Amino acid sequence: MVADISLSIASPRGKRTVSVAYERNGAGEPLPLLRGRGHQGQAREPAMDIIAGGRAVTAVDLPGSGASQPPPDGVPYRLSSAGTVLGSLCAALGVERPRTAGDSLGGLPALEPGRTGRARSVTALSPAGFGSESERVFAFAALKAPRAGARAMPVPVIEGLS
pLDDT digits (tens, 9 = 90+) for 116-141: 888 999 999 888 777 788 887 887 78
Specify whether the CB–CB gap between 127 and 111 falls below 8 A. Answer: yes
Determine the pLDDT at residue 37: 65
- Tens of pLDDT, residues 51-65: 888 888 888 888 888
Higher pLDDT, 128 or 88: 88
Q: What is the average per-residue pLDDT within 110-118?
A: 88
Give the mean pLDDT of 33-38. Answer: 75
Domain ranges of the chain: 2-130, 131-162
User: What is the percentage of the chain residues whose pLDDT exceeds 70?
Assistant: 94
Longest dimension (CA), the chain: 50
Residues 1-18 have a mean pLDDT of: 86
The pTM assigned to this predicted structure is 0.72
Q: Is residue 154 predicted with pLDDT exceeding 80? A: yes
DSSP state of 126: S
For the chain, how far is it from start to end, CA to CA, in angstroms? 26
pLDDT tops 80 at residue 44:
no
CATH 3.40.50.1820 is the classification of domain 2-130: yes
**Cα dihedral across residues 101, 140, 70, 39: positive or negative:** negative
Q: What is the 3-state secondary structure (H, E, C) of 47-81?
A: HHHHHCCCEEEEEEECCCCCCCCCCCCCCCCCHHH
**Mean pLDDT, rounded, for 37-59:** 75
Q: Rounded mean pLDDT of 141-160?
A: 88
